[in-house]
Structure 1
Amino acid sequence: MKGKKGIVLLITLMFTLSISALILKNLDDSGKYINGTNIDNYYVKILISVDNLKEELVNYLFKHKKDLLNILEDERVKEGFDLNYGDIQSNISFKLYEDVYNINLLVENDFTKYKDIEELFLDNNVAGFDKFKNLVSITIKKYGEITNFKQIEVLLEEFASQMDNNSIMDIKQYLSFVGDENSNYVKCFLKVKYNDEISFSDFIIDLKAKNTRGFNIVFR
């Protein structure tokens, strides 16, 4: 057991060191651009940092897919670990993204495509499945497929308002814009701080496609 914990610790340490080195290099390469703009440097630097973190997380986890489960066993990865470089402070956490249901399937004519979602409602005593299905269908018809967490959040708030209760929030973590047919999904959470400006972002890393999906960011 101690040997396994040591391996997990080493893998996580190497991950942290590798990401730190790559981010520092990217920030240094971006320095001239930041200093040469008239845009608010706080936001520019945060956005560049977030973009760099996203890119390096994808590259590193894709390269070390075989070690993914070991990395995810580390409590610091689950709860979030600090990664500070230059005048940027960040906190990173990620977890395997599974046991979720793609609500885009609610527009399908074939009931078997979305029956698991209806069962999710029934099993958790969440009323109004047909109303939720109709709301999703109207939204997709008007705006296109649901592609990020913010859209889901807006949908759930609208549904809760229509139903005059918040029971839908009990299953919020299971409702997604992707399904769990792909076991190579990792959900990442980033907090980046520069001076007094802070950003919070989340997204899914698709290790099969080597890209990110559903990126969302807010500033506070």
Structure 2
Amino acid sequence: MHVLIFVAQTLLSVPQQDLFMSQAAGTSRNPPSAPMSMVMLQSGKWSVMLHGQAFLNHTNDSGPRGGEKTFSTNWFMASASQPLMGGTIGLRTMLSLEPATISNRSYPELFQTGETAFGKQLIDAQHPHDFFMELAAEYIYKNVYIYAAPVGDPAIGPVAFPHRASAAELPQAPITHHILDSTHISFNVVTVGAVWNLLTIEGSAFHGHEPDENRWNIDGG
């Protein structure tokens, strides 16, 4: 049973030229035809965006490799931007309470692998995400940007699954999560990029180790 217990308001497509507002995580962007749902506020010069979701799950995977569990998957995200020195300064954070809402460091999910629980590799199970999923600042000047985050998403691979439009009805991590999204929580991330018409060129430096089993802290690099 999957129950969606929070959905933010719907946001219409954002202008392509507003680069910060179009970014989903790190510097990755969803297509304008598939925007994320969110609440938008204005506080002085700051444009604020809030969104998130939480699922209450009960899963019962049969067979010798399965398991049964009730748990919650969730995340909450806030970002703010304002003009600065001819460009735009942006701040973004993403948090998850999964370290508290998923007991014993994992939930059953057949064929899923990746990371560890109690020192053992997870097989047929998914770990909770870290409390700090993203803490980042970005400065955009015309078509050039620099993104820096003690914990964030480098410019590798597609938009991570929590930030896709399909995630609104996706209560558990897809089986491909650790193949396509393995770096979506990385540390000491710096990304530099430029956009010209439909072309984006960017590169990242970051510490490549996976998050450890302490889901409440920010791992160093």
TM-score under structure 1 length normalisation: 0.26
More helix by share: 1
Higher normalized contact order (CA 8 Å, seq sep 6+, divided by chain length)? 1
More strand by share: 2
TM-score under structure 2 length normalisation: 0.26
